[in-house]
Amino acid sequence: MPCTVIVGAFWGDEGKGKIISYLALKDKLDFCVRTGSVNAAHTVWMEGKRYALHMVPAAFLYEKCRLLIAAGANVHVGKFLEEVELTKVKGRIGIDQQASIIEEKHSAQDKASAHLKGLGTTGWGVGPAIEERVRRTAKLAKDIPELQPYLADSVSEINEGIDKDKKVLLEGTQGFMLSLFFGGYPYVTGRDTGASAIASEAGVGPTRVDDVLIVYKSFITRVGAGPLPGEITKEEAIKKGWFETAAGTGRDRRSAPFDFELAKKTAKINGATQAAVTKLDSMFAQCKGAREFADLSKDAKEFIKEVENRTGIPVVLIGTGPEAWDLIDRRK
């Protein structure tokens, strides 16, 4: 543990929110640092209540966890304040003073651009907000009156936490295949979404990261345009129980079977040391709610073993249902 990066393996929506909410409660995380921006929604379920978080770190369920928004992140002020209210985290959430601000005009620019529309962006304006930051004309969190109570020097806090052996989780958003550098350009998002970039956005040097936990889903989904190898039709997806709609935008998610070669490649480039596999119950219905590996069906166990063999990394966490506790934890 001490410092772990959580990275999505494919095109986002692998179930990072669920894995993070479990780790927060189980491991009693000291810090959770959200990267990226408002385009990514992380879904957390607890006692039948669903949260689709665009700004607040997914570890909020553990009430002693210090929640931070990284210096490299882009903050949507309205969404942030709304979610702080919803999750009641005022007093323990901080925004790095150097985080930049995503404004309504960026969303309007995103929606007005035929090119960006063709890529199927989420419409939140993350690309235009990053452009503005690169031009050195962006507003920063420290410039916004409503954010004054939340301002923090997150980089010092996180690094001092690591010095003291605190449990620090760096929350990646989106998926590796949406990376501006490593995904299928131009059908990508406006930033690198890989493990190194997550650490970079948070202000953590590569030698201070202990584990990279890559999150796979048992099948693959993608929203927006761009190639999806092995894509099946919506009808087939419904039949298989794989059909999903996006937590953020409500759009249909396209789907495809698990891709072992891609899983191996993304594990390597992200330097993954551990893996999580979510939604095993969507592949193998008998596994729903299982909490012990021994309780999985034979074919489900074989699938997990094949993921391990083909990627070369241990599958330590297995999701078997939406609630944070619907999970098999194989860590020692």
Return the residue of 81, 119, 144, 180 that touches ligand IMP, per CB under 6 A. 119
Residue closer to Mg ion, measured from CB, 41 or 152: 41
CA dist 315 and 236 (Å) reads: 28
As measured in angstroms, the least distance from the Cβ of 262 to ligand IMP is 16
- Considering beta carbons, is residue 81 or 246 the nearer one to ligand IMP? 246
Annotate each residue in 247-266 with x if it binds ligand IMP (CB under 6 A) or - if it does not, as one string: --------------------
Site size for ligand IMP, by CB under 6 A? 19
Answer yes or no whether residue 262 interacts with Mg ion by CB under 5 A: no
Helices 260-269 and 298-311, interaxial angle, to 10°? 50
User: Site for ligand IMP (CB under 6 A): which residue of 57, 94, 190, 194?
Assistant: 190
| C-alpha–C-alpha distance, residues 121 and 19, integer Å | 25
Query: Rounded CA gap, 248 and 228, in Å?
Result: 20
Q: What angle do CA 143, 148, 151 make, to 5 degrees?
A: 95
Q: How far is the CB of 52 from Mg ion (least distance, A)?
A: 8
Site string for ligand IMP, 31-70 (x = CB under 6 A): --------xx------------------------------
Could you tell me the two tokens for 236?
């087939």
Residue 270 binds: one of ligand IMP, Mg ion, none (C-beta under 5 to 8 A by kind): none
Instruction: Name the minimum Å distance from CB 124 to Mg ion.
Output: 12
Q: Which CB, 52 or 285, lies closer to ligand IMP?
A: 52
- CB 118, min distance to Mg ion, A: 21
Tell me how far apart the terminal alpha carbons of the chain are, to the nearest angstrom.
Answer: 12
For 117-154, what is the HEC assignment? HHHCCCCCCHHHHHHHHHCCCCCEHHHCHHHHHHEECH
Q: Which residues, 30 to 49, sit near Mg ion by CB under 5 A?
A: 41
Instruction: Name the minimum Å distance from CB 56 to ligand IMP.
Output: 15
Length of the chain: 332
Which residue of 15, 72, 224, 319 would you call a contact of ligand IMP, by CB under 6 A? Answer: 224
Is 30 among the residues known to form the active site?
no
Q: Where are the alpha helices (DSSP H) in the chain?
A: 16-27, 77-87, 104-112, 114-119, 126-134, 154-163, 195-202, 234-240, 260-269, 280-283, 298-311
Q: Which range touches ligand IMP (CB under 6 A), out of 78-86, 115-123, 201-209, 211-219?
A: 115-123
273 and 264 in contact (C-beta within 8 Å)? no
The answer for residues whose C-beta is within 8 angstroms of residue 72's C-beta and 6 or more apart is 35, 99, 200, 201, 202, 203
For Mg ion, the closer CB: 178 or 247? 247
Catalytic positions: 13, 42
Residues that bind ligand IMP (CB under 6 A): 11-13, 39-40, 119-122, 124, 126-127, 173-174, 178, 189-190, 223-224
